[in-house]
Amino acid sequence: MSEQWQPRIVAFFCNWCTYTAADLAGVSRLKYAANTRVIRLMCSGRVDPQFILDALAKGADAVLIGGCHPFDCHYAEGNYKCLRRFQLLKRMLKDMGIEEQRVRLEWISAAEGEKVKRVINEMTETIRALGPLGIPQKFAAWDQEMEAFAAHVEAGEALKTPCSAHAPQQEPAHV
C-alpha cells in the first residue's frame, strides 16, 4: 500500500472570526483536509512574519492566515496591519525562491464555516500539486556543505586557492 504524500499546513487564525468559523465548520461536520494545524491568535495583526518563516523552516509546506473582514476587526485595524506585513512577506519569500501559493491570507468571518472548509481544501490541493517544500532537509544538506568546507579550511586547502575560485561566477555589471 503506497501512501500519498500529504502537505503540512500551519494556520494562524484570528480568535474572533476565523477560529470561530473553523469551530463552526467542525460542529457542522463539514469535511475538510485534516493536515492543517490551527494556531489561535487574538488578532491576525499579531501574526509576525517570523512566525511564518519559523513554521516553514520547521517543516510546514504552507501557511494559512485567517482574519476578520476589512472594517470588521475587533481591534479596529489589526487586519490592516496583517495585510501590510503579508505584502512584505510575499516579496521576501519570492526573493528566497519560495512559491507564492505556499502562504495565503483570507478574510473569513465567524459565520463562514463553509469558507474555512473550501479554503483549506483548495490550499491542500494546491500544495499537493507543488510538492513538499522540504526546508529542514535543505538545512541538512547546507550543514553538510559547511562541514565539508570547514574540513577544507582546517586542512589548509582553502588557503591555497583564491576566494574567487569558491564563489559562483557572475557576469560583470553593465555600466
Report which DSSP code applies to 163.
G
Mark whether 100 and 156 lie in a shared domain. Answer: no
Is the model's pLDDT at 115 over the cut of 70?
yes
- Residue 80 counted as domain residue: yes
pLDDT digits (tens, 9 = 90+) for 63-114: 999 999 999 999 999 999 999 999 999 999 999 889 999 999 999 999 999 9
DSSP state of 83: H
Would residue 3 count as lying in a domain? no
Query: What is the pTM assigned to this prediction?
Result: 0.80
Residue count of the chain: 175
Pairing outcome for strands 103-107 and 9-14: unpaired
Residues 98, 40 share a domain = yes
Q: Is 139 helix (H, G, I), strand (E, B) or coil?
A: helix
- Residue 160 has a pLDDT of 63
Q: Is pLDDT above 80 for 8?
A: yes
The count of domains in the chain is: 2
On whether residue 173 sits in a domain, the answer given is no
Tens of pLDDT along 127-147?
A: 999 999 988 888 888 888 889
Domain of residue 155: give its range: 134-167
